[in-house]
Structure 1
């Protein structure tokens, strides 16, 4: 059960790494889309974004939720919720600059929430 042990912030660290991978995905998707329509089409498939959001929500519920119950701080919950909401809102936008901006901001907020959650254990 070490993966779910949030006392040392392991799950939050994984979530922060996933947030970083999401940003790399978003930026590389935009670059590939600009360079080659076929490569961008694969990376910008809506299913990839929907599955990524589901994974982000899952990590958030487990890590941030358990953290809030253990340390009692609600700031990580608030920041993370804002991030997930921003990411979900970005799914409703057409592919382009604004979708990229909202997704990256949402992912950054979610990563910040996980970092605050991890620090709250100290």
Structure 2
């Protein structure tokens, strides 16, 4: 399997961190807008957004975290990223609401931390 170039991996890790942050903002913002103001429920809480987001997280995570582990040999980012993705999948299985948001935010925090570890290990 051919690995992505170091520059591409670094950019994808940074993209993974940014997407994780945007996901957390989406979760909190959706709860506030829908719960407090009753706005945007059909669009913000659409299962399609969460499914596509998870698919993107898996794709970017597999490319960057997997390639990083292959390069630096440290399994920690892969384990942490896997836990994060599992939490995100668990969030998709339940009903919309606070529990889903908490699982998703915990999951994206783990995935973002895995990308950060990958970036740190890359520099050694």
Task: List structure 1 runs of 4+ shifted beyond 4 angstroms.
Answer: none
Does the CA-based 8 Å contact 1:6-1:63 persist in structure 2? no
Q: CA RMSD in A?
A: 1.4
Q: Which residue of 2 aligns with 1:44?
A: 45
SS of the residue 1:9 aligns to: helix
User: Matched residue pairs, number?
Assistant: 119
Which runs of no fewer than 5 residues in structure 2 stay unpaired? none
- Please name the residue that 1:17 is paired with: 18
The within-5 A match list for 1:27-106 is 27-106=28-107
Answer yes or no: is 1:5 the counterpart of 2:18: no
Structure 1 unmatched runs, 5+: none
Q: CA deviation at 1:38?
A: 4.7
Instruction: Name the TM-score, length of structure 2 as normaliser.
Output: 0.90
Between the aligned partners of 1:114 and 1:6, the Cα distance in structure 2 is 14
TM-score of the aligned structures, taking structure 1 as reference length? 0.91
Secondary structure of the 2:40 match is helix
Q: Give the SS at the match of 1:94.
A: coil
In structure 1, distance between residues paired with 2:100 and 2:54 = 14
